[in-house]
Amino acid sequence: MKRKIPPFPALRAFEAAARHESFKAAAEELCLTQSAISHQIRGLEELLGVVLFERSSQGVLLSADGRGYFEQVRACLDSLAGATAELMGETLEGNLVIGATPAFTSRWLLPRLADFAGANPGIVLEIIPNNAPLAFPDDGTDILIQYGSAPAKGYLVEPFLSTTRFPVCSPDWLAREGRPESPQALAARGILRDEYGDSWKEWFEIAAGEKPSEIMGPVLPHCELTLRAAKEGQGVAMAYGALIERELASGDLVKLFETETHARVIYSMTYPEAAANRPRIAAFRNWVFDQQARAAA
């Protein structure tokens, strides 16, 4: 059966333009002119009989048809790249780009960097900060440390870290404010919140049997900042137990109540299915699961 496949240059131009949502950025990446990118995509649209991009004076945006086609084309190109790397015998030596939140990077990855380097001397980790780790980025990332474990079409999502959450504060805050007599008393104090599901409502429902009508307190961009503020005596933060063991052991942070939320997956490794056998990705994946096995033991 003869396959009906558009010309490869047109597909490559479309994938780059869709990934950047910019003909100019695609042209720069592929070392072509913006006019050449536009010409390739226009020809592809005519061949397919659909509009792939909505064009305006502000730029271009993927249409609904374009977005669906982009996912398929990207998966095919990822698969081709993976097969090519495998055939050419990609080695362990080289860069591996990891997208991760500040909390994961500083609390889980940095303390273990020397161990990874010792086990994989040829791999150079490049960490890209990712404050919204819910979708795979288009910035050259090889592995995304995803928040939670939501499935993603075309990607492998492998959970590796689960934990509970509970309120913590600094010894200075506790000495100044006194220990709250009840969860309800804590709700009235003004607490530190973060924008990515900080679990305060869940904790209050478990600890007090009801959700407070209103939770007051500043909202910070991520949990690493709420913990920093808590350590500086600015208030009470909701902490991930598995990420603050050092602070609890040293006394830098104090656990206010024994009540904890239900354990849930907070981190998963996510990477394209087609890249699963790439040596550097496989090495990092195996190392992460080995680290978690050691921690559990």
Number of domains the chain is built from = 3
Beta strands per DSSP E along 117-236: 123-129, 143-147, 155-163, 165-169, 193-194, 219-220
Domain containing 254 — which CATH number? Answer: 3.40.190.10
C-alpha torsion sign, points 93, 138, 291, 131: positive
pLDDT of 87 = 66
What's the mean per-residue pLDDT of the chain? 87
Q: 43: burial class by Cβ within 10 Å (0-12, 13-18, 19+)?
A: middle
Structural domain including 80 reads: 8-87
What mean pLDDT comes out for the span 1-28?
A: 87
Which tokens go with 57? 């004076």
Q: Which of 87, 121, 146 is the last residue of a domain?
A: 87
Kindly give, in sequence order, each residue whose CB lies less than 8 Å from that of residue 88, ignoring residues fewer than 6 positions away.
none
| More confident site: 293 or 113 | 113
| More confident site: 20 or 12 | 12
What mean pLDDT comes out for the span 148-156?
A: 83
Amino acid sitting at position 281: I
In the chain, pLDDT over 90 holds for what percent of residues?
A: 49
Domain containing 23 — which CATH number? Answer: 1.10.10.10
Alpha-carbon gap, residue 282 to 285, rounded angstroms: 5
pLDDT of 89 = 60
Confidence of residue 241 (pLDDT cuts 50, 70, 90): very high
Residue 218 and residue 99 in one domain: no
* β 193-194/264-272 pair status: unpaired
Do residues 21 and 62 lie in contact, with contact meaning Cβ atoms separated by under 8 Å? yes
Do residues 227 and 159 lie in contact, with contact meaning Cβ atoms separated by under 8 Å? no
What mean pLDDT comes out for the span 197-221?
A: 83
Helix (H) or strand (E) holding 18: helix 8-20
Q: Which of 61, 87, 113 is the last residue of a domain?
A: 87
What mean pLDDT comes out for the span 217-225?
A: 88
pLDDT of 189 = 76
Q: Which residues pair with 123 in a beta bridge?
A: 94
Asked whether residue 2 is assigned to any structural domain, the reply reads: no
Alpha-carbon gap, residue 224 to 172, rounded angstroms: 19
Question: Does 2 have pLDDT greater than 80?
Answer: no
Residue 255: C-alpha distances to residues 18, 248, 277 (Å):
47, 8, 42
Alpha-carbon gap, residue 116 to 102, rounded angstroms: 19
Question: Does 182 have pLDDT greater than 70?
Answer: yes
Residue 153 and residue 270 in one domain: yes
Asked whether residue 209 is assigned to any structural domain, the reply reads: yes
pLDDT of 131 = 67
pLDDT of 23 = 92
Asked whether residue 3 is assigned to any structural domain, the reply reads: no
Do residues 26 and 82 lie in contact, with contact meaning Cβ atoms separated by under 8 Å? no
Q: Which pLDDT tens digit goes with each residue over 78-123?
A: 777 767 766 666 666 789 999 998 889 999 999 999 999 998 899 9
- Is pTM, for the whole model, over 0.75? no
